[in-house]
Structure 1
Amino acid sequence: MSLLGGRAARSAAAAVVLAGLLTACGLDDDSPDERVIRVLMVDNPQMLELEKLTARYFTKKTGIEVDFTPLPENEVRKHIYRDFANQSGRYDVATVSNYETRTYADRGWLKPLDSYIARDRAFNQSDILLPLQLSLSGRDGKLYAEPFYGESSFLMYRKDVFAQLGLKMPADPTWQDVAELAEKADRPETGMTGICLRGLPGWGEMTAPFTTVVNTFGGTWFDERWNARLTSPGFREAAEFYVGLVRRYGEPDASRTGYADCLSNMKRGKSAMWYDATAGAGSLEADTSPVKGKMGYVPAPVEKTRSSGWLYTWAWGIQKSSEKSDDAWKFISWASSKEYEALVGREFGWANVPAGKRRSTFDRPEYKKAAGAFDEETEKAISNADPRDPGVQERPAPGIQFVGVPEFTTLGDKVSEELSAAIAGEQSVGAALRKGQREAEKVGAEYRKR
C-alpha cells in the first residue's frame, strides 16, 4: 500500500470513529430526534422564493427546520433518482414531476399520502385540479405527490399585430388555421416571424410541444401493445407538419431554439405567435414586459382530438424510507396550500404565485387582477388535459407530452436530435423518423417481454 493510500485509509477510519461518537452523543445531523427535514428540489425561481419564506413563516410556526438543496433540473433529477432508488433516506422530500411519480410509486420509492390527506382537512384535497391528482397517482389509485404548481400549453399571439394585418384568431384554432395565420403574419423584412416553436433537442424541450402535435394528428409513440409507431401515418404527418411549419415561418436557427429563446422572441417582438407552456404568459404579462397587454391566448391547436394541451407539474413526494414523514407532510401541506399562495401574493406579487393547481386560486380577485389576461385559458387548458387519453387510440402508459416510462428520457432526446437535424435541413423527416423508429422498437421490445 502506498503512503498516500495508508493515510487515506487511516483518515477514513478516524472519520468513521468520529461519526460513531457524534451519533452516540446525539450530535449526528441525521438524528431522527431533530425536527429537521431535508428537501431536494429544482432551483427554479418559485422554489427559491419558497426557500426564502420557509424559516420566517413555516419553521417559526411549527418548529420544523427545512434544509433545502436546490439544483438545476437535469442535476436534480439524477440526484433524486439515485437517492430514492437506494432508499438512503438522506432526503425526506423531493420535487418530482408527473413524469416520474407513477414510476417511483410503482417501485415503492414514494410514501402514499392518502392517510395524511384524510387527517388534514384544512388542506382541502378536493380543491386540487383533478387532472393533476390523476397524474400524481399510482396504479393502485393512491396519491403519491402534491403539486406545487401546474401548467398546460396554449397558443399565444400578438393581438396588436393581428389587428394591423387584418387577421382574426379563431377561438378554438386548428393547426391548419395556425399554419395559414403564420404565413400571413410572417414578415421577415421587419424581423418578425409568423410563429416560434421549439426546435432545440431534448425530451423536455422540442419533444414536449411536438408530442402534443403528434397526439392531435392521430399519431402515438407506441400502440397499446408497445409496438413503436414513429413511421405510422399520423406520426409522420405530424412530424412533417411541425418541421415544415417552423422551417417556413419559424424563427431563424430554429434547431437551437428552446423555451427561453421563444419567450425572449415574443418579448422582443420577433414572433407573431408562440405555442408553448401556459407558464410563459406570466412573463409576457409582467409589469416589465414590453408586450404586456398586447397578447392574446387561445387553446392549444387541434386536428383530430377535442383538446391537445399538455399537463405538467412540479410536486412534492416523500421518500418511503424517511423517518420524518409526519413533519415532511406538514411541510408539503404548507408549501402547496392556499395559505402559502396568499403569502407569495403579499410578499412577491400575485403574478408570482405558484398557481395552476388549485381551482380556488382562479377565483381569487387578487389573482384574477394580476393574471386576468390568461387565467381563464390556463384553467381551461389544465382542466381539459387528460394524461390517460390524450390521443385517438389506446396507449400503454400515461402521459400527454411524454410517454410515462423511464426510458422516454433517452428516447425523447434521441428522436428530437434527429428531428432537430431535419429542421436544420441536414436530413429529411423520413430519415429522422426511421432512425427514431429503430430506437423506439428497442424500448417496445423490452416492455413486450414483461
Structure 2
Amino acid sequence: MVTQAKLRSLTLSVAFAVTSAAGFSTLAYSEPVTLTVALAANPQMQTAAKLIGNFEQKYPDIKVRFQTLPENQLRPAVLKDVATKSGQYDVVMIGAYEVPLWAQKGWITDLSTYANSDTAWNQADLLKPIRNLVSYQGKLFATPFYGSSSFVFYRKDLFAKAGLTMPQTPTWDQVAQYAAKLDNKSAGVAGICLRGVPGWGQNLAPLTTVINTFGGRWFDEKWQPQLSETKTKAAITFYVNLLREHGQPDAAKDGWQECLQLFTQGHAAMWYDDTVFAGPVLEQAAPGLKDNIGFAMAPVKDTKASGWLWAWGLAIPKTSRNQEAAWKLIAWLTSPEYIKLAGTKAGWGQVPPGSRTSTYQIPEYKTATAAFGDLTLASINAADPLHPTVMPVPYTGVQYVDIPEFEQIGDFTSQQLAGAISGQITVDQAIDASQKKIVDVMQDSGYNK
C-alpha cells in the first residue's frame, strides 16, 4: 500500500481519441470529451503520465486532465467528491480499502459489463488475489493498476561483513537482532528503516502486519477494541522500540518516500515495506549498491506469513457523465498493452507489478525482476485478508480493517504512534489514548450497543 507527503500536485493535460476497441463500437463526439482523473502520486503513475501520448495517438477525441496528488491529499479530495456527488472526477484512483465500501454505497460504477465485453483487456489474466481486492460481491468495481504485498529489502554486503545470513522468511526477533548489529550511527547507517509518519496507510500499514503476526488484533469477535491487550500491546511496543533504538533519525517524519531515498543512498541496512518498490530500489540505488541489495519475505512471529495485500485501482464514479470514455482510459492504463509499453519505453522496473499473470511471463520482465519477481508473487499469494490474524476476527484486511470507521480510528492511532516514536509520549500513553478513542468511535457507530 504507498503514500507520500512531499510531492507537489501535478496537472497534466493530454488530448486523447477514442476510435474503437474490442467489444465496443467506435465512439464519435461532436467535440472532444474531457475526463478529469484523480491519481495517487507514485512512481508508476508518474511513468504513466509520461507515456500518455501513446494513448493520444490511439484515441484522439478524448481530452484528459490528470490531477496527481500525494495519497494523504488524494483520499479526502476524492472522498468528498464521490460522497457529495459533486461530479468533479470521471476517474479516481482508489485503494483496496475503499473499493468494497464505496461499491456498497453505490458511489462507483460496476465495471463487469465493460470488462466482460472488452476481450482485449483480458479480465481472466488478472491475478486472483488482486482481482478480489477490487471487486465487491463478485463484481469488478475498479481496474487494478498494480498489486503488491510487503517484504524486506536488505544490504547483502553489510550482512556478509557482519557474518549474518538473511533467511528467506525471517522472524521479527531475527530482524531486531540484525538491526542492532548493523546499526552504525557514526557511519550514518540505520539498522532498519520503517514508516513512522502518521496515517492509517502510513505507519499503521507495517505496524498492523506486526500486530497480526504477534497474535494481536484490532478487534475481537464482538468488535471490542483490543489495542491494550497483551499481544497487541507487545507488537506496538516492539515496533516503536525498534525504530527508536535502531531506526533512521527522526523516523516519525518518514514515510515510504523517505525510506526509499535513505535505503537507496546507503543509509539503512534493512527496509520493510511494499513490494512495489523493488524496481525503483534497484533503479535508484547509488553506485555499488544495486548488486548488493537482497529481498526476503515479510518477517513473522506466530504466523506462517505476514505480508500485507494491497492494490491501487482505477474506478469510475457514478456521477461521471463520460462513463464509456472513462472505461477506455482505465482499460488502457491497466492493459497488457500498457505494461509492455511501460517496460519498453520507461524500463522494466517501471512496469506496474502484481496485477496480471502475463506480466510475469514476459522474458524481459523476468530478466529484469529475477531478484524479486518470484518473491513478489509468493508474497501476494501468501497474504490472506480473510484470515489476517492468529485469533478469529470479525473483519477483513491485512494492514487495515475494512470498515468505514478505520480511517478515523486509524489516523488518530497513527498520530499517537508517531508521538511515541518521536519520544513525545510513552507507548503506554499512545495505546491508552488510542484505545479510548476507538471505544468511543465504535460505540457511536453502534458496534458495541
Residue in structure 1 matched with residue 252 of structure 2 by the alignment: 255
Distance 1:246 1:337, change over 3 A: same
Determine the C-alpha separation between the residues in 1 that align with 2:199 and 2:251: 14
Deviation at 1:437, TM superposition (A): 0.3
Letter of the structure 1 residue corresponding to residue 37 of structure 2: V
Deviation at 1:218, TM superposition (A): 1.0
Deviation at 1:382, TM superposition (A): 1.6
Aligned pairs for 1:31-180 within 5 A: 34-58=32-56, 60-61=58-59, 63-138=61-136, 140-180=137-177
Determine the C-alpha separation between the residues in 2 that align with 1:270 and 1:70: 29
Aligned pairs for 1:179-194 within 5 A: 179-194=176-191
Letter of the structure 2 residue corresponding to residue 69 of structure 1: Q
Query: 1:195·1:272 contact (CA, 8 Å) conserved in 2?
Result: yes
Deviation at 1:180, TM superposition (A): 1.8
Larger mean CA deviation between 140-149 and 318-327 belongs to 318-327
Query: 2:37·2:67 contact (CA, 8 Å) conserved in 1?
Result: yes
Alignment partner of 2:280 out of 270, 279, 283 = 283
Determine the C-alpha separation between the residues in 1 that align with 2:263 and 2:324: 45
Deviation at 1:312, TM superposition (A): 2.0
C-alpha RMSD of the superposition: 2.1
Alignment partner of 1:233 out of 230, 235, 242 = 230
Residue in structure 1 matched with residue 7 of structure 2 by the alignment: none
Unaligned stretches of 5+ residues in structure 2: 1-28
Corresponding pairs, count: 419
TM-score with structure 1 setting the length = 0.87
Query: 1:135·1:387 contact (CA, 8 Å) conserved in 2?
Result: no
Question: Which structure has more helix as a fraction of its residues?
Answer: 1
Determine the C-alpha separation between the residues in 1 that align with 2:307 and 2:258: 21
Residue 439 (structure 1) aligned with residue 447 (structure 2): no
Alignment partner of 1:364 out of 362, 365, 381 = 362
Larger mean CA deviation between 204-213 and 399-408 belongs to 399-408
Larger mean CA deviation between 57-66 and 343-352 belongs to 57-66
Alignment partner of 1:332 out of 314, 320, 330 = 330
Determine the C-alpha separation between the residues in 2 that align with 1:58 and 1:386: 39
Deviation at 1:322, TM superposition (A): 2.5
Letter of the structure 2 residue corresponding to residue 187 of structure 1: N
Q: What CA deviation, in whole Å up to 9, does each residue of 1:339-364 have, x standing for no partner?
A: 00111112211111122211221221
Larger mean CA deviation between 180-189 and 299-308 belongs to 180-189
| SS of corresponding position for 1:285 | helix
Distance 1:368 1:448, change over 3 A: same
TM-score with structure 2 setting the length = 0.87
Deviation at 1:110, TM superposition (A): 0.8
Deviation at 1:372, TM superposition (A): 1.9
Residue in structure 1 matched with residue 420 of structure 2 by the alignment: 422
Q: What CA deviation, in whole Å up to 9, does each residue of 1:256-310 have, x standing for no partner?
A: 3322222222122222111111122222211653321111101000111221111
Residue in structure 2 matched with residue 296 of structure 1 by the alignment: 294
Determine the C-alpha separation between the residues in 2 that align with 1:326 and 1:173: 47
Letter of the structure 1 residue corresponding to residue 273 of structure 2: D
Alignment partner of 2:393 out of 383, 392, 395 = 395
Determine the C-alpha separation between the residues in 1 that align with 2:371 and 2:212: 28
| SS of corresponding position for 2:302 | coil
Deviation at 1:36, TM superposition (A): 3.6
Residue in structure 1 matched with residue 195 of structure 2 by the alignment: 198
Letter of the structure 1 residue corresponding to residue 279 of structure 2: G
Unaligned stretches of 5+ residues in structure 1: 1-30
